[in-house]
C-alpha cells in the first residue's frame, strides 16, 4: 500500500560537495580569465566583461546549482520522475543558454581557435543538423528504462548522463546564441531550428504520458511524495517534457522573430524621408540603393541586316 509522504528521510538535508566544487571551480576560472588573461590579450582599456554577461554567468551558475543540489536533485533522483524532467529542462534549456550568453567573444576565440582540433570539431558538431541530432539522441537515451534505473542507483553514471545531456545542449544552443557570430544561423534558420527542437520531443513525451504501466522501477516505490501516484508521476513527466520545453522554445522563437522584424523595419525606414504633410519623398539614398541592387543590362549582339 502506498505511503503518502510519511518517510522521515524525504526532507533530510543531503550535502553535495561535488556540486559546490564544480561551481566554485567554474567561478574561479571565470575570474582568472577576466582578471588575468583578458588584460594580457585585450589590454586594460577594453571592457572585458559586460554587466549583462556578468548577470548571465551568475544566473547560469545559480540554475545549475538549483538543478544539481538539495532538495531538487534528491527529489528528482529518489522520489518523482516529473521533477527529474524539470531538472533536465533546467540543465538543457536554461543553464546552457545563460552560460553561452556570458562568454565574451574574445574569450571564445581563445578557447576555440579556428585551426585547432577543438575549433574544427566544435564547428562540425555545432552545425544545426549535427547539433539537433546529438541533442535529441541523448534526450531519447535518457528515457530508456535501463538508463533511468541505473542513473538512480549509480552516482558516477548519473553524473556522466547529465554531463552528456548538458554538453549536447550547449551544442544545440550554439547556432542560436553563440559568442562567435559566424557560428550563428540566420534569424529564419534559428526559428526553423528551434521549431524542430520543439516538435521532436513529442515522441518520448507521448511515450511517458500514455504508458499503461510503471516504466521505471526506481520510481515505483511505496513512498509517494505529495500523494502523487506512479501513473500520475509519469503523466506529469510527459507534460513537463512536451509543454515545458516547447513553451520555452516558442518564447525564444517569438523573441527572435520580433527582433528580426524590428531590425528589418528599421533598415527600410531609414531610406525614406517623409514631408510634414505626410507625403513620402524619394531620397538620394533610396535611388542609390535601387541602382546598387539593379542587375547590369545584358549585352545585345547586333545582327546583320538582310
- Domain ranges for the chain, please list them: 17-254
Return the ∠ at Cα 40 (arms to 120 and 97), rounded to 5°: 50
Category of 219 on φ-ψ map: left (φ > 0), alpha (ψ -120 to 50) or beta = alpha
Return the ∠ at Cα 24 (arms to 21 and 26), rounded to 5°: 110
- What is the helix (H) or strand (E) element at residue 25, kind and residue range? helix 17-32
What is the rounded distance in angstroms from the CA atom of residue 237 to the CA atom of residue 214?
12
pLDDT for 306 = 43
What is the rounded distance in angstroms from the CA atom of residue 16 to the CA atom of residue 9?
16
Query: Which grid coordinates belong to 249?
Result: 522554445
What is the rounded distance in angstroms from the CA atom of residue 222 to the CA atom of residue 1?
7
What is the rounded distance in angstroms from the CA atom of residue 13 to the CA atom of residue 185?
44
For the chain, the residue count is: 306
- What is the helix (H) or strand (E) element at residue 264, kind and residue range? helix 245-269
pTM for the full predicted model: 0.81
Closest CA to 98 of 65, 121, 130: 65
pLDDT for 137 = 93
Query: Which grid coordinates belong to 298?
Result: 545584358
What is the rounded distance in angstroms from the CA atom of residue 120 to the CA atom of residue 98?
24
Q: Give SS3 for 3.
A: strand
Tell me if the bond preceding 71 is cis, omega within 30° of 0. yes
Category of 226 on φ-ψ map: left (φ > 0), alpha (ψ -120 to 50) or beta = left
Q: Spell out the residues 6+ positions from residue 151 whose beta carbon is closer than 8 angstroms to its own.
A: 77, 142, 157, 158, 161
Query: Which grid coordinates belong to 82?
Result: 516529473
Please compute, for residue 101, the number of CA atoms within 13 A of its CA located in the half-sphere on the CB side. 18
Give mean pLDDT in consecutive 10-residue pieces for the chain, a chain of 306 residues.
Answer: 52 87 95 91 81 96 94 90 94 96 92 80 92 93 92 89 94 96 94 92 80 87 87 91 88 94 72 48 51 51 46
With cell 548522463, the residue in question is: 161
CB-CB contact of 200 with 245 (8 Å): no
Instruction: Please report which residue ranges of 178-244 form alpha helices under DSSP H.
Output: 187-199, 202-209, 230-239
Amino acid at each position: 500500500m502506498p505511503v503518502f509522504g510519511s518517510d522521515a528521510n524525504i526532507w533530510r538535508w543531503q550535502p553535495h560537495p561535488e556540486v559546490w566544487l564544480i561551481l566554485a571551480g567554474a567561478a574561479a576560472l571565470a575570474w582568472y580569465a577576466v582578471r588575468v588573461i583578458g588584460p594580457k590579450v585585450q589590454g586594460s582599456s577594453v571592457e572585458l566583461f559586460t554587466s549583462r554577461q556578468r548577470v548571465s554567468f551568475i544566473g547560469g551558475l545559480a540554475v545549475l546549482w538549483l538543478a544539481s543540489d538539495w532538495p531538487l536533485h534528491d527529489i528528482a533522483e529518489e522520489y518523482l520522475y516529473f521533477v527529474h524532467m524539470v531538472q533536465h529542462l533546467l540543465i538543457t534549456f536554461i543553464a546552457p543558454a545563460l552560460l553561452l550568453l556570458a562568454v565574451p567573444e574574445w574569450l571564445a576565440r581563445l578557447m576555440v581557435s579556428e585551426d585547432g582540433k577543438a575549433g574544427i570539431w566544435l564547428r562540425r558538431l555545432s552545425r544545426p543538423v549535427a547539433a539537433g541530432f546529438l541533442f535529441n539522441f541523448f534526450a531519447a537515451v535518457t528515457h530508456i528504462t535501463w538508463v533511468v534505473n541505473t542513473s538512480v542507483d549509480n552516482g558516477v553514471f548519473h553524473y556522466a548522463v547529465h554531463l552528456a545531456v548538458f554538453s549536447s545542449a550547449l551544442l544545440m544552443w550554439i547556432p542560436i546564441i553563440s559568442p562567435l557570430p559566424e557560428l550563428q544561423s540566420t534569424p529564419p534558420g534559428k526559428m526553423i531550428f528551434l521549431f524542430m527542437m520543439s516538435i521532436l520531443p513529442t515522441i518520448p513525451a507521448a511515450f511517458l504520458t500514455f504508458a499503461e504501466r510503471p516504466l521505471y522501477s526506481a520510481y515505483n516505490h511505496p513512498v509517494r511524495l505529495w500523494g502523487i501516484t506512479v501513473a500520475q508521476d509519469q503523466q506529469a513527466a510527459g507534460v513537463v517534457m512536451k509543454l515545458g520545453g516547447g513553451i520555452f522554445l516558442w518564447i525564444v522563437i517569438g523573441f527572435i522573430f520580433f527582433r528580426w522584424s524590428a531590425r528589418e523595419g528599421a533598415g527600410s525606414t531609414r531610406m525614406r524621408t517623409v514631408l510634414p504633410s505626410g507625403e513620402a519623398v524619394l531620397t538620394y539614398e533610396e535611388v542609390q540603393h535601387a541602382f546598387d541592387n539593379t542587375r547590369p543590362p545584358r549585352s545585345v549582339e547586333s545582327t546583320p541586316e538582310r
